C-alpha cells in the first residue's frame, strides 16, 4: 500500500485530549511541534494532508492554517463522509488513505482506510480494530509524527 492522503483527528491525537479553559472562559489546546513538522514533511513529499474533527473551533482553524493542510473539515460526523469527499476531489479511494484517530467517532473511518493508527491513549474499542497500528506515543506527545515516520519507512 502506498499512502497518497494523510488524515488526522484533533482532540486526543494532535492534542492530549484535554480541553483547557481560563477563568474568563477562553479555551486553549496544546499541540506538538514534532507533529507539525511531520505534516510539513508529508506535504514536501507530495502527500495531501487533512484534518477531520467533530469539534468546530477557531483554534483548530488557526492550527490547520499554520500547518498548511490541504483540507480542514470541522463539525463533521460521520467522518468517513468527509474522507470520501476528499477522495473524490483527489481521485483516490479510501485504500489510499492513512488516518489516525482515538475515539468512537473515528471508528468507521479507521475501519475503512488503507492504513489506520491510534495513539497510545486511544480508547480500547479503537485499539481493538483489526489491523490498526497502536503507536507508542500518546496524543499530543508526538503520536502523529510517530505514524508519519512509519509511513515514510514503509508506505511511500
What are the pLDDT digits (tens) for 45-92?
999 999 999 999 999 999 999 999 999 999 999 999 999 999 999 999
Alpha helices in the chain (DSSP H): 33-44, 58-67, 79-90, 107-112, 124-127, 143-154
Widest pairwise Cα distance in the chain: 48
C-alpha cell, 128: 481493538
Give the residue carrying C-alpha cell 469527499: 85
The CB density around residue 109, as the number of other CB atoms within 10 Å, is 23
Percent of the chain whose pLDDT exceeds 90: 95
115 band by pLDDT with thresholds 50, 70 and 90: very high
> What are the boundaries of each domain within the chain?
5-154
Beta-strand pair 115-118/133-134: parallel
Beta bridge partners of 7: 50, 99
| Global model pTM greater than 0.85 | yes
- Round to whole Å and give the CA distance between 63 and 56: 12
DSSP state, residue 132: -
Please give the mean pLDDT across all residues of the chain. Answer: 97
Q: Which long-range contacts (CB under 8 A, 24 or more apart) does 90-96 make?
A: 90/4, 90/5, 90/48, 92/4, 92/5, 95/1, 96/1, 96/2, 96/3, 96/4, 96/5
Beta bridge partners, 99, equal 7, 116
pLDDT for the residue numbered 102? 98
Start-to-end CA distance of the chain, whole Å, equals 8
CATH class of the domain whose range is 5-154 = alpha beta
Find the mean pLDDT for residues 105-130: 98
pLDDT tens, 24-40?
Answer: 989 899 999 999 999 99
- CA-wise closest residue to 5 among 104, 115, 79: 115
Amino acid at each position: 500500500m502506498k499512502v497518497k492522503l494523510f488524515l488526522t483527528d484533533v482532540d486526543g491525537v494532535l492534542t492530549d485530549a484535554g480541553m483547557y479553559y481560563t477563568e474568563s472562559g477562553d479555551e486553549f489546546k496544546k499541540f506538538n511541534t514534532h507533529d507539525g513538522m511531520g505534516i510539513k514533511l508529508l506535504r514536501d513529499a507530495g502527500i495531501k494532508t487533512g484534518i477531520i474533527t467533530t469539534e468546530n473551533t477557531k483554534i483548530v482553524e488557526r492550527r490547520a492554517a499554520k500547518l498548511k493542510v490541504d483540507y480542514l473539515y470541522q463539525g463533521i460526523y460521520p467522518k468517513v463522509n468527509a474522507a470520501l469527499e476528499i477522495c473524490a476531489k483527489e481521485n483516490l479511494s479510501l485504500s489510499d488513505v492513512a488516518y489516525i484517530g482515538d475515539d468512537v467517532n473515528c471508528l468507521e473511518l479507521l475501519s475503512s482506510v488503507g492504513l489506520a493508527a491510534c495513539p497510545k491513549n486511544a480508547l480500547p474499542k479503537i485499539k481493538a480494530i483489526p489491523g490498526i497500528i497502536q503507536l507508542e506515543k500518546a496524543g499530543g506527545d508526538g503520536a502523529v509524527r510517530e505514524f508519519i515516520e512509519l509511513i515514510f519507512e514503509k508506505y511511500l
